[in-house]
Amino acid sequence: MALPEPSEARTRKVRIMGALLLLLVIFLVAAGCGGYSAQAGKYLTEARSQVLGSAYALERFGDGEVSAPFLRASLEQYAIAIKSTARSINSLKPPPGAREEHRREVEGVSRAQRLVQRAGHRGVDPQRAPELAQKLRRITQELKEP
């Protein structure tokens, strides 16, 4: 038969376990949630990368380095990715001082998504591809780091 532990040692173990559990919860909340600025930065980096990838594909098409079917497929995939990122950005709840900037960022990403989607569905004239790529690059310049 096991002897019961002295109450002082048991209380100490419970306190240590409680403190460790509390630290674990705090760590998980801090790591999982992140602040608005961190989340917005992550999503804006994704959006810029996707939009710049679209611009690059358009430039390669304009230079005759990729085919029209390849461009259309690439742009359609980029449009899907940008739309998903736009939804993620839109779902963030900015603090009061960042609401106007947040609205501009959502509009910029959505505008890029529409341009890419339209080009993917309709196709692009090789002569017009560099112009569209430049428009997309200008949009990425509007998307600032938070």
- What DSSP string runs through the chain? -PPPPPHHHHHHHHHHHHHHHHHHHHHHHHHHH--HHHHHHHHHHHHHHHHHHHHHHHHHHHTTSS-HHHHHHHHHHHHHHHHHHHHHHHH----GGGHHHHHHHHHHHHHHHHHHHHHHHH---TTTHHHHHHHHHHHHHHS---
Tens digit of each residue's pLDDT (9 = 90 or more) over 17-52: 666 666 555 554 444 456 888 999 999 999 999 999
Pick the more confident residue, 132 or 26.
132
Q: Evaluate if residue 139 carries a pLDDT over 80.
A: yes
Residue 70 has pLDDT above 90, yes or no: yes
Say what the pLDDT of residue 11 is: 72
Domain-wise residue ranges, the chain: 33-142
